[in-house]
């Protein structure tokens, strides 16, 4: 009986991504979602292979986070956005974060049938990923996939369920964050109360074809932004269900305009450090965080590191830091 196949070669997958081979995407997702110990080094090889040092700079893909409350129409909007990006000749990968199954740990909903796309279009890749243990959180696999796929795809989208930790965590990973608001839902007031207005780079008011109610929603979110002191957030009104759709070109333009204003190396460096800390926590639990002196101490340590490190190197530095603190090598228990 043949032995079971091991994880794919991470270095070879990274090479394929550097060469722009979009067909590597499924194997990349299969690898980063493999949490078995035997896959850890292969994942590290993958992430080292798509680091700025290997790419000669930051990955060219635009990492876009799309979040908002359940039922706001994110998937319908994303279907039209994917169509708009493809009409402009851009390749698109979508990582749709679903709640995790308590039994298997995997995504509950599977591949997103509700996001319309051409299954024969090899420049479009859509995959559901599990949220992880925290409601609305981003699992280390999703973070790793976004970093890796940005080396080959023009646009990498992370769509979250829009509850719990997702709003803050998606801001750690994405270059540009779009928050979806639907008219008549009271979302603007709830966002203001919860502080979420500090997160979006673009605020998207859906169902713009509803007339006065959509106009009021746009007025409300602008007022909420002013109250929160968010002067740079762009508000775009769209309708993904109108025929033809409304505002898709404006939304793509707003997302592009935000990226052009970014200190991309600085934002990506912060993203790699946040992802490394998430990976360290997933591997070593809260015991590992305590060995670092807590999350604030861990972030101070990361901020003091020399820039340009790949994610596996940052994780390794955190592990050494925890061991040097006298706690011994952290294990995978919390």
For the CA atoms of the chain, what is the radius of gyration?
Answer: 20
pTM exceeds 0.85 for this model? yes
Does 77 lie in the same domain as 190? yes
Q: Which residues contact 299 (CB under 8 A, 6 or more apart)?
A: 273, 277
- 40 in a domain, yes or no? no
Buried b (16+ CB within 10 A) or exposed e, 82-118: bbbbbeeebbbbbbbbbbbeeeeeebeeeebeebebe
Q: Is the pLDDT of residue 334 over 50?
A: no
pLDDT tens readout for residues 94-139: 998 876 443 444 433 443 446 766 677 889 999 988 766 555 568 8
- 243 in a domain, yes or no? yes
Average pLDDT over residues 314-333: 73
Which of residues 261, 284, 301 is at a domain's end?
261
Q: Residue 208 belongs to what domain range?
A: 62-261
Give me the pLDDT at residue 197, please: 61
Structural domain count of the chain: 2
| Token code pair at residue 196 | 């979420």
Does 288 lie in the same domain as 147? no
- 116 in a domain, yes or no? yes
- 36 in a domain, yes or no? no
pLDDT tens readout for residues 210-249: 888 888 888 888 877 777 676 688 888 898 888 899 999 9
List the CATH number of the domain containing 221: 3.40.50.300
- 281 in a domain, yes or no? yes
- 334 in a domain, yes or no? yes
User: Which residue reads 């803050």 in tokens?
Assistant: 168
pLDDT band at 29; cut points 50, 70, 90: very high
Q: pLDDT averaged over the chain? A: 83
| Token code pair at residue 251 | 């939304």
pLDDT tens readout for residues 36-70: 888 999 999 999 999 999 999 999 999 999 988 77
Are residues 44 and 275 in contact, defined by beta-carbon separation less than 8 angstroms?
no
Which of residues 220, 244, 261 is at a domain's end?
261
């Amino acid at each position: 009986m043949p032995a079971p196949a091991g994880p794919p070669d991470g270095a070879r997958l990274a090479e394929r991504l550097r060469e722009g081979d979009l067909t590597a995407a499924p194997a990349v997702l299969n690898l980063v979602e493999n949490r078995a110990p035997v896959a850890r080094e292969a994942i590290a090889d993958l992430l080292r292979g798509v680091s700025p040092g290997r790419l000669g700079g930051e990955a060219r893909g635009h990492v876009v986070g799309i979040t908002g409350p359940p039922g706001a129409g994110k998937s319908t909007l994303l279907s039209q956005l994917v169509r708009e990006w493809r009409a402009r000749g851009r390749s698109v990968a979508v990582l749709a974060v679903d709640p995790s199954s308590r039994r298997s740990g995997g995504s509950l909903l599977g591949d997103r049938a509700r996001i319309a796309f051409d299954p024969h279009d090899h420049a479009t890749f859509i995959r559901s990923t599990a949220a992880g243990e925290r409601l609305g959180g981003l699992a280390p696999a999703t973070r790793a996939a976004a970093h890796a796929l940005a080396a080959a795809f023009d646009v990498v989208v992370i769509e979250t369920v829009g509850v719990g930790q997702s709003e803050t965590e998606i801001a750690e990973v994405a270059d540009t964050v779009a928050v979806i608001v639907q008219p008549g839902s009271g979302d603007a007031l709830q966002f203001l109360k919860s502080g979420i207005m500090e997160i979006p780079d673009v605020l998207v008011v859906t169902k713009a074809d509803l007339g006065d109610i959509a106009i009021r929603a746009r007025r409300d979110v602008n007022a909420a932004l002013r109250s929160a002191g968010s002067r740079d957030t762009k508000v775009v009104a769209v309708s993904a269900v109108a025929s033809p759709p409304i505002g898709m070109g404006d939304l793509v333009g707003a997302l592009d305009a935000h990226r052009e204003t970014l200190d991309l190396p600085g934002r990506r460096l912060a993203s790699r450090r946040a992802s490394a800390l998430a990976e360290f926590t997933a591997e070593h639990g809260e015991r590992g965080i305590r060995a670092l002196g807590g999350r604030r101490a861990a972030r101070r340590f990361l901020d003091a590191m020399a820039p340009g490190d790949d994610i596996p190197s940052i994780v390794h530095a955190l592990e050494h830091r925890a061991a040097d603190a006298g706690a011994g090598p952290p294990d995978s228990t919390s």
